[in-house]
Amino acid sequence: MIVQSPCLTGTDACSMAWITLNISTDAAHAESLSDALMALGALSVDIHDAAADTQGEQMLFGEPGEPGGEIWQNAEISALFDQAADIDAIVHLLADTLSLAQPLQYSVNTVEPQDWVRLTQAQFEPIQISPRLWIVPTWHALPDPGAINLILDPGLAFGTGSHPTTQLCLSWLDQHVQSGDRVLDYGCGSGILAIAALKLGACDITGIDIDPQAVEASINNATHNRCDLHRFMFAAPDRIEIDNASMDIVVANILANPLQILAPVLAQAVRPGGHIVLSGILQQQAEEVIQTYQPWFDMSAANMQEGWVLLTGCKKMK
């Protein structure tokens, strides 16, 4: 989903009714239509796959080094307007502005006033990873106060715990982290895996991410979880040095192509007999990633969820 949106805040955001203009288009016209709609007063514009949740759904991963379209070929644009907007005039102006050869295919829906904060919060319920491990939003009561609770809200960085790749990693950490382990979370996102490892008994945590917003989110989430910031650190790769063969566990939940590119770096960080944990890998990509890491590790597919595979390996002894 690709979104353009100015910020809507205050009590008006909860009391206003809006109109949603839905336009069917293709990759060639989606961005120009989106820009034009914003120029014509749209409060927000969302481009998404018109075939989402069907057999025709088009996956866009955008992995480094791989060609691929940035917009779905069968796209739909949803533009949010104030209820007083003249939709017929807007559609007419769109066609004139962009000199479209074909008439626009569109529909209109009314969005009734709602408490959007409460509605958004209701979409994020606590997630149980195991009998002792939960992910809980800040606004929700702890389902099990005696459990290990990761306090985490949705944010800009990846990793709320709802995606299968994150859950696969958390389940593995829950079963395998030992007291005193040194853990590296490469591509830390929200910091959820590093925070979980620390709460599960690890004593030395390092989180790395190339996105400054992810680094900031990780530090904030660590603070909310009352984690000792002196025991682990989040930083971009060029701001931290990792001792060779120093980590008991290296976990990386990113995507298949960067995992293959990073294989020598991640392998170097794991001690002999230590573990590598890789996620963000589709089932059809698993064998290629296994072969990439095989020179350093005894690799296997540890688990699978909704077409995503968790790969793990034990560092070979020299």
Over residues 80-107, the mean pLDDT reads 86
CATH number for the domain formed by residue range(s) 124-315: 3.40.50.150
At residue 89, the pLDDT reads 92
In this prediction, residues 45-71 reach a mean pLDDT of 63
Helix H or strand E segment including 75:
strand 75-82
Provide the pLDDT confidence category of residue 106 given band limits of 50, 70 and 90: confident
CA-CA-CA-CA dihedral for 192, 195, 197, 202, to nearest 10: 160
Residue ranges, comma separated, of all CATH 3.40.50.150 domains in the chain are: 124-315
Residue type, 157: A
Report the distance separating Cα 253 and Cα 266, nearest Å.
12
pTM: 0.68
pLDDT digits (tens, 9 = 90+) for 256-279: 999 999 999 999 999 999 999 999
Q: Which residue has the higher pLDDT, 173 or 224?
A: 173
- Helices marked H in the chain: 12-15, 27-39, 87-98, 116-122, 164-176, 192-199, 212-224, 256-261, 263-269, 286-293
Cα–Cα distance for residue pair 46/260, rounded to 1 Å: 32
> Residue 213: pLDDT above 50?
yes
What is the per-residue pLDDT for 184?
94
Across 5-17, average pLDDT: 50
* Distance set, CA 268 to CA 12, 138, 271 (Å): 54, 37, 8
Q: Where in the chain is the domain with CATH 3.30.70.120?
A: 2-118
Give the DSSP H or E segment for 79: strand 75-82
What's the CA gap between 146 and 133, in Å, rounded?
10
Q: How high is the pLDDT of residue 67?
A: 46
Instruction: Name the percent of the chain lying above pLDDT 90.
Output: 49
- Looking only at the bridges linking them, the beta strands covering 75-82 and 44-49 are antiparallel
pLDDT at residue number 294: 97
Two tokens, residue 318? 């020299």
Mean pLDDT of 113-139: 79
> Can you tell me the distance from the alpha carbon of 293 to that of 296, in angstroms, rounded to the nearest whole number?
6
Q: Does domain 2-118 have CATH number 3.30.70.120?
A: yes
